[in-house]
Amino acid sequence: MFAVVKIAGQQFKVSEGQSLYVPHIEGNAGDQVEFSDVLYVDTDGKISVGADAKVKVKAEIVAERKGKTVIAFKMKRRKGFRKKKGHRTLYTHIKVTGIA
């Protein structure tokens, strides 16, 4: 059994017991979260799509991490103009505990 879930504007294919990194979700390690925006469900060959997929995906927050550094570098040639700015995006490590 697997489902396609929309989390923070991105779609993820999840199955029970799977762990994955998603964009930052508010909460602490050990908290339970529930995703109700399910787009697709496949239960042993029986497919439900869109509004017919009336299931919820439950997950547990494992940890929070920062991603790799993304650098935005701007430069104008022959003018001496250089600007360097970077950031690290926050991600949340979750483990799917159930699809019901």
Domain boundaries, the chain: 2-63+93-99
| 96 CB burial (10 A radius; 0-12, 13-18, 19+) | buried
pTM across the whole model = 0.84
Question: Mind listing the pLDDT tens digit for each residue in 22-66?
Answer: 999 999 999 999 999 999 999 988 999 988 888 999 999 999 999
Other CB atoms within 10 Å distance of the CB of residue 12? 19
* pLDDT of the residue at 52: 86
* pLDDT of the residue at 73: 98
**CA–CA separation, 24 and 55 (whole Å):** 23
Instruction: Name the residue type at position 10.
Output: Q
